[in-house]
Amino acid sequence: MREPESSADIYDMKKLLLIDADCGVDDAQAIMMALANPGVEVLGITCTYGNNLLENTSRNVLRVLHICNKLEIPVYPGATGPLLGGPVTGALFHGKDGLGDVPDPNAPGTELLQKENAVTAILRIVNKQPGQISLVALGPLTNIALAVKMEPSLPKKLKNLFIMGGNTESRGNVKVCGEFNFATDPEAAYIVLNEYTCPMYIAAWEFTCACSLPWEFYHEWVNQNTEKARFMKKIFAHSLKIAKPHLGFVSCDSYAMAAAIDENFVTEITVIGMRYCPEFCTCIFQRNPAIQEDKIQAQKMVIINILDP
């Protein structure tokens, strides 16, 4: 790898990220990770419903950018609900406002949000620098699905796609077998997994649980004498009352973001084959074509069977 010759050269070598988020507390941590890394340039943040209503998730992104002194990064509101409709109930884990219900009298106003919709912003930004941008999807995949339906060639123009969502062992976090992001809009997940042909990396629910961090790390992190640490401690306080202590500190979206920031974070990748059963499931990952689709009584779940090497 060649060495950078100047500060401008270093800038040119930065990883270009476009983030799609339903900003809850773990989204906030993931976004802050990207903003803090000098080797990363965040080109924009597109917002979706999910952990809360779009109005709140968009406002939450602005709050995170404000605490990081990065309000110059454009924020684009996007989808307000799933492709096929239905209520947006949000996730209790993140509080009523999606960010731990912490009062913020200095929160930026929503007039800072861009007028352009998230989906058209994704297309415009990627088309401007084809092959150079990594898309990081931290919420329901509605915006990402709509983007590929508007421009089917979009996946070929992405460098790669990082997703937090789905499950690999039929263990869910909102239903017995349903992971929140995929279960919230299973049709969007189906479209994305089926139509995005760029390199795709998925941090599934069970993976994030298996890679939980010790509570000692969490307490050391949030008790630093910085404004950012104090902010994170406040917004995580609500979710810690709900979290299961024996699982350790699990910040799901941060794992997908860590992989997007530094590929060396990923030490092992499982390559799987795919087949789809839209009648019953969001998707099925498997190697055995003999599965009887009419015997599968599942909905809004992902089934994985690892490929033989």
- Read off the pLDDT of each residue in 78-107 and give the average, rounded to a whole number: 88
Contact 222, 233 (CB under 8 A): yes
- Residue owning tokens 């917004």: 235
| Per-residue tokens: 113 | 């949000």
pTM to 2 decimals? 0.85
pLDDT, averaged across the chain: 84
- Residue owning tokens 């990065």: 70
Q: Tell me the CA distances in angstroms from 91 to 5, 24, 99, 206, one per residue in order.
A: 47, 9, 11, 18
- Using the predicted structure, report yes or no on whether residue 8 has a pLDDT greater than 80: no
Structure confidence by residue, pLDDT tens digits, 105-141 = 899 999 999 999 999 999 999 999 999 999 999 999 9
Helix (H) or strand (E) holding 200, with range, is strand 200-203
pLDDT at 272: 58
Residues 6+ apart with CB under 8 A from 113: 58, 62, 75, 76, 77
Structure confidence by residue, pLDDT tens digits, 32-66 = 999 999 999 999 999 999 999 999 999 999 999 99
| Per-residue tokens: 147 | 């983007």
pLDDT at 86: 84
- Residue owning tokens 């599942």: 298
Structure confidence by residue, pLDDT tens digits, 189-211 = 999 999 999 999 999 888 888 88
Measured CA to CA, the distance from residue 140 to residue 130 in angstroms comes to: 24
- Closest-CA residue to 121 (of 51, 208, 19, 216): 19
- Using the predicted structure, report yes or no on whether residue 91 has a pLDDT greater than 80: no
Phi-psi region of 271 (alpha: psi -120 to 50; beta: other; left: phi over 0): beta
Residue-level length of the chain: 309
> pLDDT band at residue 12, thresholds of 50, 70 and 90?
low
Q: Please tell me what DSSP assigns to residue 215.
A: H
Measured CA to CA, the distance from residue 214 to residue 212 in angstroms comes to: 7
pLDDT at 10: 44
Please give the distance of CA 298 from its chain centroid, rounded to a whole number.
24
Structure confidence by residue, pLDDT tens digits, 229-276 = 999 999 998 888 887 777 788 888 999 999 999 988 877 777 655 544
Contact 51, 83 (CB under 8 A): no
Q: Are strands 75-77 and 133-137 parallel, antiparallel or unpaired?
A: unpaired
Question: Pick the residue with more confidence: 67 or 269?
Answer: 67
Residues 6+ apart with CB under 8 A from 6: none
Structure confidence by residue, pLDDT tens digits, 278-303 = 433 444 343 333 333 333 334 444 54
